[in-house]
Amino acid sequence: MIFHPSERTLSRYGDGDLAGLRARRVAAHLEGCTACRTVVASNRALGEAARRAAAPALRAGVWERIAERREGGERVILPAETVGAATRSIRWAAAAAAAVVVIAVAVMALPVTRGALAGEPSRLTFVPALPRPGATVTVEYAPTAALADAPRLLLRAHYVTGRPFGMHNPNASGRVRGAVVATLARRSDGRFTATVMIPDPVAYAIFAVSDTSGEIVDSDHRRSWVMGLAGANGRPDFNSLISIAWAPGPPRTDERARAAADSLVAIYPDSAQSWAVQVQVQGSSRIPHWLSVFDSRERKFAQLEKSLARRDTISAGEMTAMATLAAAIEDSAAASRWQSRLIAAYPLDPRAIEARFWRAVQLPRDSALARLPALDTAWILSPEARPAIAELGLGAAMNSGDSVAIRAWAVRALAVEPELYGYLIQQLLSDPAIRASIVVTLRARLRELADDSQSERSLISTRSRDRLYRQALEASALGVLSQAMVLDGRYAAANDTLGVAIRLSEGFCGFGYLRRYRAGIELTLGDTAAAVRDLVIGAAAKGSRTGPFGDSAAILLGHRYEPAQWNALMDSAAIVAKTCSRDWATP
């Protein structure tokens, strides 16, 4: 990755607010970075334009009112803070507001499950609390009221293998599947117990409890219970703590991540990886405190560099961490130096391959062909990063216009990102060879979605909720499959397929487009009445009296309805249409 100073640092540099080492670092970076020089020049031009702008005339009587208030004893008339400080406060307030928005979106995206409700405390404990991989653990569950009377319960788990620092997260989407690992038996005291053998290798385990039907789930308020593992020395395992700090969410929580990061620097203070994890975990959650810790981070970086200089060998993880820490203190030269050392010392390490890959993809847009060899190498040698590589590789191939490369990367993208339907519809279905691969992938995906077993369910989701989620994905996949059928000239089959998709999606938000697709097919088959019906029901379900559906009717039918006529048609369809009421986007 190419490291750049933050926009705020570039702005302060342009304003002349930086001095000493930080100013010299930015100046050195600007010598070789056209993009950042452009930002600084733009900021300076904007500031100069603002300074040249004429000040607005004061309203009549302003000075008289100020004098009157001064005579009355008032001494603070204007804000005491300087203009520069006020500007900085506004910028930090904007950053804090953005952080609040991000957190709010994350909270709203959490799935809704029953169990572990307020007023119904529950607890899951493990003996030993910090086991080694391969150990047998006794699990005890103090139930929530909703599960207290059950004769037995199911303990569901997701085991996470260790992920070294800097490695791509293969489950960044946060949909964590769980399998039943034990049956919890009810004791005479009302608690439930079971024994579980922890697999080896594993970095940590995530647990939830459900009834045998799967319709009541206790996931500790959707956070799940996490069990870390011990290392050979009996202390919390280094990779276990790193993995917990970077766990996908849910069940990741900021508190849990910060606790794991704090444990890393307390137990393993000599590792650069410990400090890099803490910087990354705290960076987004403590924006207002950045300047107060900036100097201490610089000192820690200098200490770690001196310590590492005394070692005969430095691991790939430590080099990756040093590049991360250098970027955190905005020392782009040091960050690039450590990244280059990583690439030279460990050319086949996935993190080194990713580093070369990120450098390649930051070439200018017209260098798409130049990126492809590096992306091909990254795909072969870095399987952990394949989801990100596939998306960028497909984009580079499409920018290059090379049909062979487009086909190859489309197949790769489908293999690792089967939900990438919308993107592929617009760009790739017209190619017969790629379309055939898409159809094969979709049919395999549909078979997976039909699996209603406990092992395919999201760890913290009820069976019925997960079934709805898979039902919506199935409708989406069938919609794509129907478009492939149309391009192959199979209109009747496409019409039947869309009928199934529409039945599956009834009541869900965001699926009105399926009826619009089917209306086009029905017109091709000569069934104008059915096409009008689909357009009207789609509009009624969406609750839209005008807009896209009305426009679709005009385009498809060659006839624009008068508003009163269109609304009358919608009123007649309202008894058939189901108003969008179900959210399907979270498991």
Residues 350-360, mean pLDDT to the nearest whole number? 74
Identify the H or E element spanning 108. helix 83-108
Least confident of 100-104, 255-259, 535-539: 100-104
Mean pLDDT, rounded, of the chain: 76
**pLDDT given at position 98:** 34
**pLDDT given at position 558:** 62
Tell me which residue has tokens 């058939």: 576
Cα 264 from Cα 97, distance rounded (Å): 30
Question: At 41, which amino acid appears?
Answer: A
Q: What is the pTM of this model?
A: 0.68
Tokens representing 173 are 């989407």
Residues 480-508, mean pLDDT to the nearest whole number? 90
Tokens representing 242 are 């790193």
**pLDDT given at position 147:** 94
Confidence band for 467, pLDDT divided at 50, 70 and 90: confident
Q: Which of 54, 381, 404, 416 is nearest to 392 (CA)?
A: 416
Helix (H, G, I), strand (E, B) or coil at 33: coil
Percentages helix, strand, coil for the chain, rounded to the nearest 5?
Answer: 60, 10, 35
**pLDDT given at position 291:** 43
Cα 511 from Cα 480, distance rounded (Å): 12
pLDDT tens figures, 18-40: 877 778 878 888 877 877 888 88
Q: pLDDT over 70 for what percent of the chain? A: 71
Cα 458 from Cα 437, distance rounded (Å): 28
Tell me which residue has tokens 């979106």: 105
- Cα 172 to Cα 220, 249, 390, distances in angstroms: 21, 8, 15
ω into 79 cis (within 30 of 0): no
Cα 408 from Cα 398, distance rounded (Å): 11
Q: Which pairing describes strands 225-228 and 217-218: parallel, antiparallel, or unpaired?
A: unpaired
Q: Which residues of 338-349 are buried (b: 16+ CB within 10 A; e: fewer)?
A: bbebbbeebeeb
Q: Which residues pair with 141 in a beta bridge?
A: 124, 192
Q: Which pairing describes strands 152-160 and 179-186: parallel, antiparallel, or unpaired?
A: antiparallel
Cα 561 from Cα 559, distance rounded (Å): 6
Least confident of 74-88, 135-149, 158-172, 250-264: 74-88
Confidence check: pLDDT of 428 > 80: no
Tokens representing 387 are 């989801």
Cα 390 from Cα 412, distance rounded (Å): 6
Confidence check: pLDDT of 396 > 70: yes
Q: Which of 335, 301, 339 is nearest to 6 (CA)?
A: 335
Tokens representing 415 are 């293999």
Confidence band for 246, pLDDT divided at 50, 70 and 90: confident
| Strands annotated E in 147-188 | 152-160, 179-186
Tokens representing 329 are 């203190």
Tell me which residue has tokens 């590589």: 389
pLDDT tens figures, 261-279: 899 999 999 999 999 998 8
Q: Which residue has the higher pLDDT, 116 or 20?
A: 20
Confidence band for 45, pLDDT divided at 50, 70 and 90: confident
Length of the chain: 587
**pLDDT given at position 566:** 63
Cα 195 from Cα 292, distance rounded (Å): 48
**pLDDT given at position 115:** 39
Question: At 239, which amino acid appears?
Answer: N
Confidence check: pLDDT of 119 > 70: no
Q: What are residue 347's phi and psi, to 5 degrees?
A: -60, -25
Which residues, other chains included, contact 537 with Cβ-Cβ below 8 Å and sequence gap of 6+?
Answer: 515, 573, 576, 577
Cα 397 from Cα 361, distance rounded (Å): 12
**pLDDT given at position 286:** 44
Helices and strands: H and E segment counts in the chain: 23, 8
Cα 360 from Cα 382, distance rounded (Å): 15
Domain ranges of the chain: 7-50, 460-587
Q: Which residue has the higher pLDDT, 462 or 290?
A: 462
Confidence band for 120, pLDDT divided at 50, 70 and 90: low
Tokens representing 98 are 């953005």
Residues 301-324, mean pLDDT to the nearest whole number? 92
Confidence band for 54, pLDDT divided at 50, 70 and 90: low
Residues 200-224, mean pLDDT to the nearest whole number? 90
Residues 452-456, mean pLDDT to the nearest whole number? 62
Q: Which residue has the higher pLDDT, 564 or 410?
A: 410
Q: Which residues pair with 156 in a beta bridge?
A: 180, 208
What's the CATH architecture for 460-587? Alpha Horseshoe (1.25)
- Highest average pLDDT, of 92-101, 388-397, 487-496, 544-553, comes from 487-496
Helix (H, G, I), strand (E, B) or coil at 24: helix
